[in-house]
Amino acid sequence: MPSVSYRRMFRSISRGGLRYIFGKRGERRVQGWRLLYRLRIAALLLTDEPLLKITQRTEVRLWVDGAEAFSRLEKLLARARHTIFIQMFIWKDDAVGKRIAAILIDAADRGVQVDINKEAVGDFFEITGDFLTTQHLKDPVWKRLWHHPRIRITHTTNNDHAKVFVIDDQILLLTGMNIAEEYRERWHDYLIELRGTRFVQQYLTENEDKRREEDPVHLLMNSGHVKQIRPAVMDLLSSALSSILLEQCYLSDPAVIDLLIAQSKKGIRITIIVPERQDLHFHANMQAMRRLLTEGSVRFIQVFLYPGIVHGKVILIDRTRMLLGSANLITSSLDDMGEVCVVIEGRYRIALMKLRDVLRGDILKSKLLATLPRFGWVDRWLAWLGL
């Protein structure tokens, strides 16, 4: 039995690594248009609500941590009436992975069409519980998921790091959480629920349509067609008048650090929350924090070490504008990988207030980084490797 597990682990890591190095980024536009067409026709035929009301309604809700987020996700999937679309980076063969699979099977049994795009690069992180291998298992849940006539599973090679759920052409769920036990049970992260067909349409068609100035919610995407996230992140950080708060698992992009240093010298208060220890990127994070505290104005910079894995990707500007989603503040995420984020401001103050309360609690749980991290040549080498 151990030899089988090791073989499975080796296949998963090799497959994910090879897809990352040699994989060709795919095109989602045609697929997105086709799926959008199916979703809109289904919405017109099956919904009881007037179309005008459907297309105009917008609602924003924030769900914090796995217990809350997965509970909400499971309820929404169980209520789906005609279509579910999932874009996922990591999906493990564990209790959480099987539970979501079972809920999707139930939905398909009652007539819901389920489309799953599983990113091949994510296989690298699934170790012994990789998703692709489940198609060959005798477990009845996985057998039904892979062979159900209303479930289509595509093993994509788009280098897409996004985690997205679309339900009934009405609900768009964006998160940093993958489908695995650690995201539900242990890691600190967020899920944003957006209600409104325009968000679904914008995501599926990768529409670059310019938002209205007064629009309080808008999507940001990186894909093969658009690269919106880096410019938006840099604009947000540059626009701060009094404060910038970042809660990030991976924070090392040189241009972002340069900008934070410059903003601190203008008297903008910079607060950063990063994990005290983490699975990857610890040395890269600490090298970036060392540079920030060495070159920036330390009067206006505080770095807090969170006790555990904080996996969120949060930017809060002047306590009134927030960005959340799947994009880390590292170069590959900002420039190369497929990502989806949302900026929220203006009238959706309930979500903002909830986020501010959570971040305040996170700071109280954390310890201040009072001394500069010590860095030898091994640490610098590991940081260069992104570890």
- pLDDT of 57 reads 44
Nearest to 81, CA basis, from 118, 49, 55, 117: 49
DSSP-based three-state secondary structure for 336: coil
- 134 closest CA partner among 110, 105, 171: 105
- List the CATH number of the domain containing 98: 3.30.870.10
Last residue of a domain, one of 205, 227, 259: 205
Q: What is the mean pLDDT of each run of 10 residues along the chain (387 residues)?
A: 55 61 48 56 49 51 96 97 96 96 98 95 84 92 97 91 94 96 95 91 73 75 91 97 96 96 98 84 85 94 94 95 95 94 84 94 94 65 54
Sequential DSSP letters for 167-204: ETTTEEEEES--BSHHHHHT-B-EEEEEESHHHHHHHH
d(CA 70, CA 76): 10
Q: Is residue 210 part of a domain?
A: no
Of 154, 171, 205, the residue that ends a domain is 205
Burial (CB count within 10 angstroms: exposed 0-12, middle 13-18, buried 19+), residue 95: exposed
On whether residue 224 sits in a domain, the answer given is yes
Please name the residues in contact with 325: beta carbons below 8 A apart, sequence gap of 6 or more. 162, 174, 175, 176, 192, 220, 313, 339, 340, 341, 342
What pLDDT shows up at residue 197? 87
pLDDT value at residue 343: 94
> Burial, 156: exposed, middle or buried (Cβ in 10 Å; 0-12, 13-18, 19+)?
buried
User: What's the rounded Cα separation, in Å, for the pair 214 and 211?
Assistant: 8
**Residue ending a domain, choose from 148, 178, 205:** 205
| Residue 168 and residue 198 in one domain | yes
Furthest-apart CA pair in the chain: how many Å?
Answer: 65
Domains held by the chain: number: 2
Residue 253 within a domain: yes
Q: How many residues does the chain have?
A: 387
Whether residue 212 lies inside any domain: the answer is no
What letter represents residue 168's amino acid?
A: D
> Which residue blocks in 27-86 are alpha helix, DSSP H?
29-46, 51-56, 65-79
Residues 223 and 200 in one domain: no
Query: How much is the pLDDT for 56?
Result: 41
Range of the domain at 318: 217-384
pLDDT tens for 193-249 read 999 888 898 888 876 554 555 678 889 999 888 899 999 999 999 999 999 999 999
- Over residues 37-93, the pLDDT tens digits come to 555 555 545 444 444 343 444 589 999 999 999 999 999 999 999 999 999 999 999
Distance, in Å, from the CA atom of 152 to the CA atom of 94, rounded to the nearest integer, reads: 21
Among 294, 270, 299, CA closest to 371: 294
Residues 246 and 187 grouped into a single domain? no
Upper half-sphere CA count for residue 94 (Cβ side, 13 Å) = 16
Instruction: State the pLDDT at residue 29.
Output: 45
